[in-house]
Copies of this chain bind each other. A is one copy, B any other.
Amino acid sequence: MVKKTGRPAYLQIADDLREQVRGGSLAPGAPLPSTAQLAEQYDASLSVVKMAVGILRNEGLLIGQQGKGVFVRDDESSESGQGPAVDLVSEVIELRTAVRDLSERLAQVESTLSERSDR
């Protein structure tokens, strides 16, 4: 499953899961496959899957419950008063992570470029 692009596997899986949530393939409140099942699906190790889930958990997109599983964040479950639709929120989160990733990569390119022009 993991493509041979330079992008690390755990980010690829995180992107894919984020896309599934945003696209509705994983509905709010729905459980994700277990870590072991995800590892088999993506043909990846348990470690990278745990990393990917950890990222999305950190972003607030997923909520893990020990002993039960990992679930797509549900508005009602997390907070009562809620504003915009989940679609918009997750899309903004996705865009934000994409922008940050691009920003970092560009900064690295710029850095190496300036370094080489100095010498």
Contact = CB atoms under 8 A, between A and B. Distances in A.
A98 B106 CA distance: 12
- Oligomer: number of copies: 2
A63 to B, nearest CB: 5
A105 B105 CA distance: 11
A79 to B, nearest CB: 8
A96 B97 contact: no
Instruction: Give the bracket for the number of chain A residues in contact with chain B.
Output: 35 or more
Interface string A89-119: 1011001111110111111111111000100
A106 B113 contact: no
B102 A103 contact: yes
A16 B88 CA distance: 23
Interface stretch (A18-26, A34-42, A52-60): A52-60
